[in-house]
Structure 1
Amino acid sequence: MSKLVYSFGAGLADGDATMKNLLGGKGANLAEMNKIGLPVPPGFTITTEVCTAFYALGQKYPDALADEVKAAMTTVETTVGKGFGDAGNPLLVSVRSGARASMPGMMDTVLNLGLNDETVEGLAAQSGNRRFAFDSYRRFIQMYSNVVL
């Protein structure tokens, strides 16, 4: 299996709009928007091939996936100057599903992944708005509960 994770951000992207079968509609379009200079926050897309491989491997992820995701996350952290799980300077991410063909209602977005009992305090300190931080945490818990659980 080839590359499993495609990064985008800071005007650079591993993919483009022609790669919808591999990156899904959202992933391909985010890569393309980045390439044409639109201000897209950095991130990464896990390929549609991972889903196929997951079932082919007996509901196990390909061995290379964890390392590729860690490398992509490190790139995002470096680009924005924040750390995922860093209590003093937390990086919050959103998780969106995407498929080769649009499937409305299949999975909602999960926002604010990275908030927990420690990082919410860092967000409150950085924003100067404790209510905002805890409301963000509440929304994360609700979204995660609804979408994931």
Structure 2
Amino acid sequence: MTTETAAETIYVFDFADGGMHMKDLLGGKGANLAEMTRLGLPVPPGFTITTEACRTYLKLGEIPEALMGEVGEHLLRVEQTMGRRLGDPADPLLLSVRSGGKFSMPGMMETILDVGLTDITVTGLAATSGDDRFAWDCYRRLISMYGATVEGVPHDLFERALAAHRRAAGV
């Protein structure tokens, strides 16, 4: 399946615009989310960056020129649908970023949850959730997942630091 139109390649699809027939292009997770959305199941709004974007990146050695604009357009739609903004200090939109191939490969694909939390937005999450501990634990998990997945920091370093803080706090 091609994503090319007469003018350009499409690199990003809303969940509502895909389906299982697009598994090669959207990956297994993306195609399944699209299919569940198409069937009317309760799926939060979202979008998938296509495998074509990855192939183009690997071919060119840089992010395809149109990709960031498409991501921005799709993110704006999610923000409008959710009534929240990424980076809003009072009520932040949080995203899950998941990788996926055509076939599931347990242990190979990583997920980063709570993208959008920062030193500033975590206080907004605490206020809207009414639970400081929950908000700070979400932030801790984001830092741990991002550190391990994106920066290559060994996960056990985060776990050892957390265990040391727990011991020091007597919990």
- Does the alignment reach a TM-score above 0.5? yes
Write the distance in 1 (CA, Å) between the matches of 2:52 and 2:103: 14
Q: Which residue of 2 aligns with 1:91?
A: 93
Name the structure with the higher helix share. Answer: 2
Match among 16, 19, 22 for residue 16 of structure 1 = 19
Residue 45, structure 1, aligned to residue 48, structure 2: yes
Could you tell me which residue of structure 2 aligns to residue 2 of structure 1? Answer: 9
Gaps of 5+ in 1: none
Task: Give 1:96 deviation, angstroms.
Answer: 0.5
Superposition RMSD in Å: 0.9
Give per-residue Cα distances to partners, 1:96-145, cap 9 Å, x unaligned.
10112322222221100000000001001111111111011011111111
Alpha-carbon shift at residue 63 of structure 1 (Å) = 0.5
Shift of 1:39: 0.1
Please say which structure displays the higher CA radius of gyration: 2
Q: How does 1:51-90 map to 2 (within 5 A)?
A: 51-57=54-60, 59-90=61-92
TM-score by length of 1: 0.93
Q: Where does residue 110 of structure 1 map in the other structure? A: 112
- SS at 2:55 equivalent: helix
Structure number with higher relative contact order (C-alpha < 8 Å, ≥ 6 residues apart): 1
Distance (whole Å) between structure 2 residues aligned to residue 143 and residue 55 of structure 1: 24
Moved over 3 A (4+): none
Which runs of structure 2 are paired with 1:105-144 in the superposition (5 Å)? 105-144=107-146
Please give the TM-score of this superposition, normalised by the length of structure 2.
0.82
Match of 2:41, SS state, is coil
Residue-pair matches, total: 144
